[in-house]
Amino acid sequence: MAMLVLGVTVPLVGQDDPRVALNLNYQGGVRPGVVVLAGPGLDSVRRVVERDLQYSDRFEMAFLPAGTPPIGDSLNMGVYSQVGLTWAVELQPIPGGLAASLHNLRTGERRLRVLRTIDPAATGDGRMAIHRLADTLTLVASGGRGIAATRVLFVLGDAVWSIDSDGANLHKVSRGLGLAMSPTWSPDGSRFAYTEIRDYGGPIILQNLATGARQTVPSSNRAGMAITPAFSPDGREMIFAQTSEAGTDLWRVDIARMCCAAQLSTGGKLADNMSPTYSPDGRKVAFISTRPGRPQIYVMDADGADQRALVQYSLDTGPSDAPDWSPDGLKVAFHRDIAGGRQVMVFEFGTGRATAVTSTGRNEDPRWAPDSRHVVYKSNRSGGEQLWVLDTETGALRQLTNVNGKARMPAWSGPIAGNNP
């Protein structure tokens, strides 16, 4: 891991150029080592790419000390392979953008060379082009999916806000007047849905991210609120929970035609059923039910059939809540009250077991990143309530938000598409 960084200064002897001295902060580990180097004018882009690769948690990062001058127009690969690095990313300016190359330092092979029109000073959506480049590099160098070109929606105060996966570009996105809760992304990332609580009602609002246009999703005609919306993976349907005097129960609605809300007959009066999450193939839905008394994690077919407990519990198992099915379909994350705290748990279909992946403080509402290994969740581990990102494979943890007020109910996007792929 690159959490503890040692200074390694390697005086080079017997190489092409004995006068070159390499100054890198690097500690080797089991993951491939990578360094990001840039030509003139690209240091800000270099730092974004470097952080993106670090946040993928798939590499041992070699960091250049501050003030390291830009590289020339050719890379001395032998220098970097000597400290045990596997990859070097080379960013060179070209008119209107940059050329990015990925060098395998072990073989000397250039694995990737892409030209991108990128404004090095880009902010907002412009930075997404840099993040998409980083994800391409991650995929080629590690074989795994990067999560740089993604965003997280969450609730702050009474509104839905958006933040890029690296903590930049924080801004408010919902346009309603009520209290926003439970934001969730449409599968194509063009819209989001959330519950807007106002005058004791709570319709689900669909808002287009680009235009700001809002639609109200048809729900039951019962007095109460439509809460915890979830899009089906094909984006045509939505399952939500309707609160009412007959109990809280799951409903399905056609959002392609904006009609035909129907109860999924999962109980209601005797138990509350809510917080649905689709399997990525759209055939199953995990949810919480209070039919054992306290809420526990259940699963059913997407049409409401074959309901059963998904995660084992006993009489003294704490309340379990907020399930989220991983994009690879292999896991369901949720939170459970354990010994006075609240921990993020991961249930694996392969083993049939759930394991806590946090241990400090109160940790709630985990949501998977598209790589199915990072989760974002709300935690009070730093005192206030902020969002944190945990790599469930390495245990690497970072704080995503640092906002005034309580950040809560996160939702992680899929890859953010753009014109500049």
Our finding on whether 324 is near another protein (CB under 8 A) is no
For tokens 């958006």, the residue is: 162
CB of 300 to another protein, least distance (A): 18
47 three-state secondary structure: helix
Between 32 and 183, CB nearer to another protein:
183
CB of 407 to another protein, least distance (A): 12
d(CA 355, CA 333) in angstroms, rounded, equals 9
d(CA 44, CA 9) in angstroms, rounded, equals 24
Phi-psi region of 25 (alpha: psi -120 to 50; beta: other; left: phi over 0): beta
Our finding on whether 243 is near another protein (CB under 8 A) is yes
Which of 160, 250, 288, 411 is in the footprint of another protein by CB under 8 A? 288
Our finding on whether 245 is near another protein (CB under 8 A) is yes
Our finding on whether 228 is near another protein (CB under 8 A) is yes
Token pair in block for residue 160: 């839905």
CB of 200 to another protein, least distance (A): 4
CB of 247 to another protein, least distance (A): 8
Q: Which span sits near another protein by CB under 8 A: 50-58, 225-233, 297-305, 325-333?
A: 225-233
Between 131 and 408, CB nearer to another protein:
408
CB of 68 to another protein, least distance (A): 46
- CA 398 to chain centroid, in Å, comes to 12
Smallest CA-to-CA distance from 161 within 409, 341, 377, 375 is with 409
- Residue 273 burial (CB count, 10 A): 27
Report whether 332 contacts 374 (CB < 8 A).
Answer: no
Between 136 and 296, CB nearer to another protein:
296
Q: Which span sits near another protein by CB under 8 A: 6-14, 91-99, 141-149, 267-275?
A: 267-275
Binding residues with another protein: total (CB under 8 A): 32
Q: What is the DSSP letter of 362?
A: B
With a CB cutoff of 8 Å and minimum separation 6, the contacts of 79 are 10, 12, 15, 20, 22
Q: How far is CA 158 from CA 240, 373, 404, 406, in A?
A: 20, 30, 13, 10
Token pair in block for residue 184: 């969730």
Token pair in block for residue 386: 């902020």
Scanning residues 352 to 391, which ones bind another protein (CB under 8 A)?
364-365
Scanning residues 181 to 220, which ones bind another protein (CB under 8 A)?
181-182, 197, 200, 202
Which of 223, 258, 260, 309 is in the footprint of another protein by CB under 8 A? 223
d(CA 339, CA 362) in angstroms, rounded, equals 11
Residues 99-138: x where in contact with another protein by CB under 8 A, - otherwise, as a string: ----------------------------------------
d(CA 74, CA 71) in angstroms, rounded, equals 8
CB of 277 to another protein, least distance (A): 12
Our finding on whether 420 is near another protein (CB under 8 A) is no
Q: 54 φ, ψ to 5°?
A: -60, -45
Which of 86, 184, 207, 248 is in the footprint of another protein by CB under 8 A? 248
Residues that bind another protein (CB under 8 A): 179, 181-182, 197, 200, 202, 223-225, 227-228, 241, 243-245, 247-248, 272, 274-275, 288, 290, 294-295, 319, 321-322, 335, 364-365, 408-409
